[in-house]
Chain A
């Protein structure tokens, strides 16, 4: 039972990271109908920005954190203008290829600067964790879970309670109609890219002290997050969060009780099972039912 609770805590912690990246996937997909294959690289770039500010320059942790997030917002702007905007009137395929290209560019730019050697980023807190009864709560995992809860609440408030959130939803549902109402579609898509880049970046900043900061960290997280979006129901915000958490818990339990070397395999086994038996995901509707 103690091990169970311990694993559950860790699983939710890592699952929260997948959930944040999955949320970024879903928001961009809903706004542009395109899967952004550079979403994982947003996490990786943010972690390296953090290494640069906090380790290389030795600036305070909180300042480095804010600067890294500001850098991600800027990257969201550049990404929108450089990758999506020129191709916005084309079909989804050129845009998807452009996001793959951008992800290769980002990964190799960082590689050229930092080399293949993984970097180490310390956690936010001095104390490694606290013992709560039988469960040891790692402070970084506590931070990850706390930030994710706050973000989910913020996300709900922003999209459900504000007029700007409604305009973003309207744009993702019918761009032409949104423009007829006077909603600036290009501004809404810009906001979506900034928000998604910051979300992905935040995931990277939170998980970096738990993993190593490496060029590959983006693609590993992105693959799991992508699986999470399919498990949750593609395009569904709640589904992305639930899917991410579920995946984190499943792979943690699988690693502990079945096999450690196959840890990454469990995520994809679950993904394959969903694709066969419930391709619309937990929260997704069958497309035919939407008509």
Chain B
């Protein structure tokens, strides 16, 4: 049984149908990458899983139970942590405070949370020096590290990562993906990326979304092999990988 199974998911924003029957499965221990152009429905899929968007129809099954229609506070307590698009680091709180608040879904003491947040800097050494800096003072790469660290503080069984590479310099993107390949040792990851090359490099499985539907799914090498897809989503350098 997959850890997460989405069946025929439909999400509407008013009149607009953002998802038109999406079906995907994420197996325990996998990294699954959702690819697609702007507006294809990648972020909406994650928002529906974490409870920010209400499904109009279809089902979302996590660990054998339907979570469709639950609120975000309930869903994160079940062990799904969503690191949303744009990082959303609290600008008026320090880095450490931001990371500590990631544990708000668990019942642990403040001193325990503080120790865990300190330990989190071992995985993110680049932001250790900024522990006391306010969120708004950080660079994009630092914000992404804080956002992922905060997401991991929930001790999630499934981590949803939305566009972690967006707007980052190539060297920072590589640092972020090194962290993702570290995380995958303990946590199942559903990753949304426009950067298909990086997104598939860490994935066990990929899906391609197009205007609210899954048009293709498979192992990364199978996706690379599909010429039309490679040309449309994988940067037009298909030949060098074929």
Provide the residues of chain B in CB contact with A180, threshold 8 Å: 50, 52, 72, 76, 81-82, 84, 88
Q: Which residues of A contact B100 (CB under 8 A)?
A: 163, 166
Residue of B72, B81, B91, B136 with most chain A CB atoms under a 10 A cut-off: B72
Q: Judging by beta carbons under 8 Å apart, are A166 and B73 in contact?
A: no
Task: A21 to B154: give the CA distance in the assembly, Å.
Answer: 37
- Cα distance A183–B88 in the bound complex, in angstroms: 15
A169-B93, A173-B91, A173-B92 known; A179-B72 Cβ under 8 A: yes
A215 to B110, CA, bound (A): 45
Q: Using Cβ atoms and an 8 Å threshold, which residues of chain B touch A177?
A: 84, 88, 90
A90 CB to closest chain B CB (Å) equals 16
Centre residue among B71, B97, B102 by max chain A CB count within 10 A = B97
* Bound: A183/B84 CA distance, A: 16
Contact A166–B97 (Cβ < 8 Å): yes
B104 within 8 A of A: yes
In contact, B101 and A166 (Cβ under 8 angstroms):
yes
* CB neighbours of A185 from chain B (8 A): 73
Is the Cβ of A174 less than 8 Å from the Cβ of B88?
A: yes
- A239 → chain B closest CB, angstroms: 14
Q: Which residues of B contact A184 (CB under 8 A)?
A: 73
- B110 contacts across to A, CB distance below 8 A: 162-163
How far does the alpha carbon of A169 sit from the alpha carbon of B81 in the complex, in Å? 20
Q: Chain A residues with Cβ under 8 A from B102's Cβ?
A: 181
Task: State whether the Cβ of A170 lies closer than 8 Å to any Cβ in chain B.
Answer: yes
A290 within 8 A of B: yes
Which residues of B lie under 8 Å from residue A181 when comparing CB positions? 76, 101-102, 104-105, 150, 154
Residues of A within 8 A of B113 (CB): 163
Whether, in the assembled complex, B197 has its beta carbon less than 8 Å from a beta carbon of chain A, the answer is no
> Which of A163, A182, A290 sits near B73, CB closer than 8 Å?
A182
Docked CA distance A170–B135 (Å): 11
Is B54 engaged at the interface, CB distance under 8 Å to the other chain?
A: no
> A167 contacts which of B77, B82, B88, B101 (Cβ < 8 Å)?
B101
CB closest residue in chain B, given A183: B104
The residues in B between 66 and 100 inclusive whose CB is less than 8 angstroms from any CB of A are 71-73, 76-77, 81-82, 84, 88, 90-93, 97, 100
Complex: how many Å from CA A216 to CA B90?
40
Measured CA separation A162–B77 after assembly (Å): 22
B window 29-59: CB within 8 A of A: 50, 52
Number of A-B contacts (CB under 8 A): 66
A182 lies within 8 A of B90 (CB): no
Q: Which residue of B lies closest to A176 (CB)?
A: B52
Q: Please, which residues of chain B bring their CB within 8 A of the CB of A174?
A: 88, 90
Q: Complex formed: what's the CA distance from A179 to B90 in Å?
A: 13
Interchain nearest-CB distance for B139 vs A (Å) = 14
**A257 to nearest B CB, angstroms?**
40
Pick the contact of B90 from A162, A163, A173 — CB < 8 Å? A173
Q: How far is the CB of B77 from chain A (nearest CB, A)?
A: 6
How many angstroms between the C-alpha atoms of A11 and B110 in the bound complex?
41
A89 to chain B, nearest CB (A): 13
On chain A, the residues within 8 Å of B76 by CB distance are 180-182
Kindly state the separation between the CA atoms of A183 and B105 in the bound complex, as whole angstroms. 7
Question: B residues within 8 A CB of A167?
Answer: 101, 104
Contact assessment for A170 and B91 in the assembled complex, using a CB-CB cutoff below 8 Å: no
CA of A178 to CA of B88 in the docked complex: distance in angstroms? 10
Name the residue of chain B whose CB is nearest to the CB of A181.
Answer: B104
Q: Is the CB of A179 within 8 A of B150?
A: no
The smallest beta-carbon distance between A289 and chain B, in angstroms, is 10
Residues of A within 8 A of B154 (CB): 181-182
Q: Chain A 175-216, CB within 8 Å of chain B: the 1/0 string?
A: 011111111110000000000000000000000000000000
The residues of A that contact B106 with a CB separation of less than 8 Å are 182
> With A and B bound together, what is the CA distance between A182 and B107 in angstroms?
11
- How far, in Å, is B105 (CB) from chain A's closest CB? 3
Considering the chains assembled together, what is the distance between the CA atoms of A290 and B136 in angstroms?
8
Q: Are A169 and B90 in contact (CB under 8 A)?
A: yes
**B49: min CB distance to chain A, Å:** 11
Across the A-B interface, give the 3 residue pairs with the lowest CB-CB distance, nearest first.
Answer: A182-B105, A177-B88, A182-B104
14 inter-chain pairs at a CB distance below 8 angstroms, sorted by A residue, are: A166-B93, A166-B97, A169-B90, A169-B93, A177-B88, A179-B71, A179-B72, A179-B73, A180-B82, A180-B84, A180-B88, A181-B154, A182-B106, A182-B154
- Given A173-B93, A180-B81; 20 other pairs, CB 8 A cutoff: A163-B100, A163-B113, A169-B93, A173-B90, A173-B91, A174-B90, A176-B88, A177-B84, A177-B90, A179-B52, A179-B72, A179-B73, A180-B72, A182-B76, A182-B105, A182-B106, A182-B154, A183-B101, A184-B73, A185-B73
